[in-house]
Amino acid sequence: MKKVLTIAVVLSLGLVSGCSGDDSTKVSGDSAAVGFRETGLPLVDQPVTLRFSGQKAPLAPDYGTMTLVKQWQGDTGVQIKWENLPENVYKEKKALLLASGDLPDAFYGTGFSDADIAVNGANGTLVPLESLIDKYAPNLKKIFEKRPEIKAAVTASDGHIYTLPAAEELGIGAVPFFWSINTTWLAKVGLPMPTTADEYYRVLQAFKTQDPNGNGKADEIPLSFIGNWWCADVGDLFAALSGMPDNPDHRIVRDDKVIHTASQPQYRDAIATLHKWYAEGLIDREAFTQTDKQYLAKGKSKDPVVGSFVWWETEEVVGAGRVKDYALMAPLQGLAGRLVGRANGGDYSRDAFAITRVNKYPEVTMRWVDRLYDPVMSAQVAWGPIGEGLQKDASGVLVSMPDKAGESAGERKQRIAPGGPRVVLKEDFKAVVAPEPRAAQRQKDLEKTYLPYAEKQSYPLVFFTQEELQQVNEISTELKALVDEKRAAWIVRGGVEKDWATYLAQLKSAGLDELMSVYQTAYDRHRGVK
């Protein structure tokens, strides 16, 4: 209770300061002193240095070495001191930055949760951006006019915009769990492509015991994944084994009812089966400890060792030389027929960029980031600069450049494209930039292989009220940590049946009922139900 009251006080104080005397359309003294220009390039007459922090892709180099970033510096007269880190390292760093007050001028690829946004917006750590957008961000204003839903997605419940969006309107994130299986190994063990959960189990046993890679070593990994990873989890295997999919949020929607998957009996039954598979050596021993970088390297080991895996692009895991040995496995027939889950959210995210209270040049920063929302620039932010990642075709539309030998499109993208603030609308994919070949293929695979069997609903990108966020922040972190820890422990060591009643009591004590009530209320409000 003390924690809730503390957050409430912080929020109320922040709301007062955030709403009073809004003069953010005035050019600050520091911006004026460096010759800030409201139009044209460079943005300033005198060079300016800003400090940015945030998360970046695992294979991304220092952003300052990227061709596109160097181009930005030359165009704008603004130099960025980049402190962006891989997601697993940045998560802890972000908390320290926000708690210590040692703030960067802006967060690029913020990795902020909704609670991060609400609390740090209300307490003044993040500055409201709507007035700056109105005066200094014509590209973003145009996007908001075309897509009011994007503006709604970044507008907090207090009416302020504290963070900026990222969006690619392709729809390919609807089903993130693509299942690849080694068909060369299938031929060697004399089994067809599995179509049921039982058939898949027999395939995994054969991969384990029949040395399909032919090197005489028992080094085969029949099934590899990353537990609770957004595109590498086995949530759809839960669907085949029990009739209910799982996802890293452990939250789905059926018939407009929000369901916590990890407290359902179907979840318990799937866990018990997966422990049996793990005990038999069919599941990667590192499935709950490996990083994405380790996972992607494992598929490219000297001898092929991975029989099947979850990732939304086969080549990114196994490399161009091995991709021909793998094919997508369709949803497995299980207790509820063929069924796959949907990702929560959608094509939009609201954590791409934020400006902090220590920034002396907010006008300069807003103009700097608005350039990234030009459609041509957004394409380069997403897929790399023209000449490295993109080139123009005969009609003037940007298309992906051919992949280099030994490097997948995903790996190249991580190296040359900073990601972060960008919006590529559906119409831009026709007039400005063509979808990457792999994205176009993913759309086809989704439509053919997965979407026909997908859950009908998912949890949308809602914004909670301040009171709801207090409850979510108070409950969800502890509860998810408990669920994730138990999920891994039960699959590895067993015991789910014995521990189940105690586990349910722990969830209830941690506030599961209250949390699900908040999610349901916010969901109903989002769809207009009073």
Select from 367, 429, 422 the least CA-distant residue to 77.
367
Are 320 and 408 in contact by the 8 Å Cβ rule? The answer is: yes
The proportion of the chain whose per-residue pLDDT surpasses 70, expressed as a percent, equals 95
Select from 455, 468, 500 the least CA-distant residue to 262.
500
Section 142-159 average pLDDT: 92
Section 260-287 average pLDDT: 98
Interval 234-271: pLDDT, tens: 999 999 999 999 999 999 999 999 999 999 999 999 99
Section 92-109 average pLDDT: 94
The DSSP annotation for 298-364 comes to HTTSSS--EEEEE-S-HHHHH-TTTGGGEEEPPPPEEBTEE-B---SS-SEEEEEEEEBTT-S-HHH
Considering the domain 178-341+461-527, what is its CATH architecture? 3-Layer(aba) Sandwich (3.40)
Section 280-286 average pLDDT: 98
Contacts with 509 (C-beta within 8 Å, 6 or more apart), sequence order: none
Token representation of residue 485:
């820890």
Are 139 and 371 in contact by the 8 Å Cβ rule? The answer is: yes
Ramachandran bin of 73, using left for φ above 0, alpha for ψ from -120 to 50, beta for the remaining angles:
alpha
Ramachandran bin of 86, using left for φ above 0, alpha for ψ from -120 to 50, beta for the remaining angles:
beta
Are 190 and 261 in contact by the 8 Å Cβ rule? The answer is: no
**Angle, CA 514 vertex, CA 491 and CA 260 arms, to 5°:** 35
- The pLDDT score that the predictor gives to residue 408 is 81
Other Cβ atoms less than 10 A from the Cβ of 132: the count is 22
Separation CA 294–CA 286 (nearest Å): 10
CA dist list (Å): 236 to 197, 224, 225, 239, 459: 11, 14, 12, 5, 17
Section 275-291 average pLDDT: 98
Section 212-220 average pLDDT: 97
Select from 30, 57, 35 the least CA-distant residue to 46.
35
Domains 31-171+347-432 and 178-341+461-527 share a fold: yes
The proportion of the chain whose per-residue pLDDT surpasses 90, expressed as a percent, equals 82
Select from 354, 352, 364 the least CA-distant residue to 79.
364
Token representation of residue 510:
């941690």
Considering the domain 31-171+347-432 in this protein, what is its CATH number? 3.40.190.10
Interval 288-299: pLDDT, tens: 999 999 999 999
Token representation of residue 110:
């913020």
The DSSP annotation for 12-38 comes to HHHHHHHHSS--TTSPPHHHHHTT--S
Interval 14-64: pLDDT, tens: 333 344 334 444 787 899 999 999 999 999 999 999 999 999 999 999 999
**Per-residue pLDDT for 67 more than 90?**
yes
Which amino acid is it at 84?
A: N
What length is written for the chain?
A: 530
Are 380 and 417 in contact by the 8 Å Cβ rule? The answer is: yes
**Per-residue pLDDT for 328 more than 50?**
yes
Separation CA 174–CA 188 (nearest Å): 34
- The pLDDT score that the predictor gives to residue 530 is 63
Whole-structure pTM value: 0.73
- The pLDDT score that the predictor gives to residue 2 is 35
Q: Where are the domains of the chain?
A: 31-171+347-432, 178-341+461-527
Please confirm whether the linkage preceding 42 is cis (ω < 30° from 0): yes
CA dist list (Å): 191 to 203, 274, 302, 460: 7, 21, 25, 40
Interval 415-451: pLDDT, tens: 999 999 999 999 999 999 999 988 899 989 999 999 9
For the chain, the 3-state helix, strand and coil shares in percent, each to the nearest 5, are: 45, 15, 35
The DSSP annotation for 456-490 comes to S---------HHHHHHHHHHHHHHHHHHHHHHHHH
Interval 350-387: pLDDT, tens: 999 999 999 999 999 999 999 999 999 999 999 999 99
Average pLDDT value over all residues in the chain: 92
Q: Rg of the chain over CA atoms, in angstroms?
A: 24
